[in-house]
Copies of this chain bind each other. A is one copy, B any other.
Amino acid sequence: NEIDIAVIPGDGIGPEVVTEAVKVLKFVTNGGKQDVKLTYYKLGAEHWLETGETLPDETLASIKQHDAILFGAVGAAPGDTRIPSGIIEREMLLKLRFSLDHYVNLRPSKLYPGIESPLSNPGAIDFIVVREGTEGPYVGNGGSVRTGTSHEIATEVSVNTAYGVERVVRDAFRRASERERKHVTLVHKHNVLVHAGHLWKRTVEAVAVEFPEVTHDYLHVDAATIFLTTDPSRFDVIVTDNLFGDILTDQAGAITGGIGLAASGNINMDRTYPSMFEPVHGSAPDIAGQQKADPTAAILSVALMLDHLGLSEEARSVEQAVEKEITSRQELTDNRTTSEIGDAIVALLA
């Protein structure tokens, strides 16, 4: 009984937070009946600088063999001009999400007791965002002509299919049906993005019929940012497209006390390829290597991974340990090192 994990620590604070995530993963599974096999892959901006490789075909083929992927963070320092902008994001991170058909980009948002929100009256924030992960404006379907001249035209094409929208909408309704409030909010901008928007809207109406116990409503993306500021506890499950999901989940991270706590799963629900679990935060080159990063988001991503692998008891243990650890924090400015926080969570698991 073994789980076989690909580990991609990546750049910046990635390796540090992944070290703690692995610590927790090993501890929680060895207490049970699982053996964990870890295979490390060196990928990211650093790796690109050394080798010129983003994600070679053989590496991708090898990664596909594992049960799941634990991912740290990638990205060079903002000022680093040696790396073509966005190349690691697109040719590595997004290539993984697209090649492995990670159509459910799951991002829970919760305001933990003891964590201070930048909102003065946040209420009880506890929602999940089901962000579509394989379509929308992220497909890379754009181009430019007369590039660099005063007659340049640059386009970006958002591609949305019934197949792609339906599977993620159904996933959102299923998740909602298992939650207490059982409510789905579709976020889009169908008054302007008519064609994509109406596909989403029609799909939600159709899938809703299969889940009579789940209620649903609709918000334009601009209005959603207002509600995330003035009344975030209204949300239970948000389902939205790839780009709107990117935007809203960063805002959601901010209102719940910072993306240092925000976990995510890039999930292939059909299990044709391994799913990938990663903190929402980036590589934060400014604090890298200093043991200043909070590993909590990476550790909560391990909980999402355990859930996906059917180890829900272990997943709950990790979540509860994290919740206890967070609640015990005296103040937001936490001076403990990355590994001290990891150790504290392991101690609570013991």
Mark A residues whose CB is within 8 Å of B.
85-86, 89-90, 94, 117-121, 137-138, 140, 142-144, 146, 148-163, 166, 189-199, 202, 221-223, 225-226, 228-230, 243, 246-251, 253-255, 258-259
- Residue pair A226, B150 in contact (C-beta under 8 Å): no
Closest 7 CB pairs of A and B: A86-B191, A222-B250, A120-B120, A229-B254, A225-B251, A152-B162, A154-B195
CB < 8 Å: which of B119, B140, B155 contacts A118? B119
Give Cα distance in the complex from A255 to B119, angstroms.
Answer: 9
Query: Which single residue of chain B is at the shortest CB-CB distance from A221?
Result: B247
CB < 8 Å: which of B89, B191, B225 contacts A250? B225
Query: Which single residue of chain B is at the shortest CB-CB distance from A164?
Result: B153
CB < 8 Å: which of B158, B189, B202, B247 contacts A155? B158
Q: Tell me how far the C-beta of A251 lies from the nearest C-beta in chain B, rounded to whole angstroms.
A: 4
CB < 8 Å: which of B90, B191, B196 contacts A142? B196
- Residue pair B154, A160 in contact (C-beta under 8 Å): yes
Set of chain B residues within 8 Å of A151, measured between Cβ atoms: 161-163
- Residue pair B158, A196 in contact (C-beta under 8 Å): no
What's the number of copies of this chain in the assembled complex? 2
Query: Which single residue of chain B is at the shortest CB-CB distance from A232?
Result: B118
CB < 8 Å: which of B138, B157, B230 contacts A192? B138
- Residue pair B190, A86 in contact (C-beta under 8 Å): yes
The answer to whether residues A156 and B158 also contact, given A225-B250, A247-B247 and a CB cut-off of 8 A, is yes
- Residue pair A158, B137 in contact (C-beta under 8 Å): yes
Query: Which single residue of chain B is at the shortest CB-CB distance from A226?
Result: B254
Set of chain B residues within 8 Å of A159, measured between Cβ atoms: 153, 155
The answer to whether residues A255 and B229 also contact, given A138-B192, A162-B152, A193-B142 and a CB cut-off of 8 A, is yes
- Residue pair A154, B196 in contact (C-beta under 8 Å): yes
Give Cα distance in the complex from A334 to B199, angstroms.
Answer: 41
Which of A137, A150, A194, A258 has the most C-beta atoms of chain B within 10 angstroms of its own C-beta?
Answer: A194
Q: Provide a sorted-by-A list of 20 A–B residue pairs whose CB atoms are within 8 angstroms.
A: A85-B190, A86-B194, A86-B197, A94-B192, A117-B120, A138-B192, A142-B158, A148-B202, A150-B166, A151-B162, A152-B162, A152-B199, A154-B198, A155-B158, A155-B159, A155-B195, A157-B157, A189-B243, A189-B246, A228-B251
Q: Tell me how far the C-beta of A139 lies from the nearest C-beta in chain B, rounded to whole angstroms.
A: 10
Set of chain B residues within 8 Å of A158, measured between Cβ atoms: 137, 142, 155-158
Sample of 13 more A-B contacts, CB < 8 Å, known A144-B199, A154-B161: A86-B191, A86-B194, A89-B192, A118-B230, A137-B137, A137-B192, A142-B193, A153-B159, A154-B199, A155-B195, A226-B254, A230-B258, A251-B251
Give Cα distance in the complex from A90 to B138, angstroms.
Answer: 25
Q: Tell me how far the C-beta of A115 lies from the nearest C-beta in chain B, rounded to whole angstroms.
A: 13
Query: Which single residue of chain B is at the shortest CB-CB distance from A251?
Result: B225
Q: Tell me how far the C-beta of A8 lies from the nearest C-beta in chain B, rounded to whole angstroms.
A: 18
Query: Which single residue of chain B is at the shortest CB-CB distance from A148?
Result: B202
Q: Tell me how far the C-beta of A98 lies from the nearest C-beta in chain B, rounded to whole angstroms.
A: 12
Give Cα distance in the complex from A155 to B144, angstroms.
Answer: 17
Set of chain B residues within 8 Å of A117, measured between Cβ atoms: 120
- Residue pair B142, A194 in contact (C-beta under 8 Å): yes
Set of chain B residues within 8 Å of A153, measured between Cβ atoms: 159-162
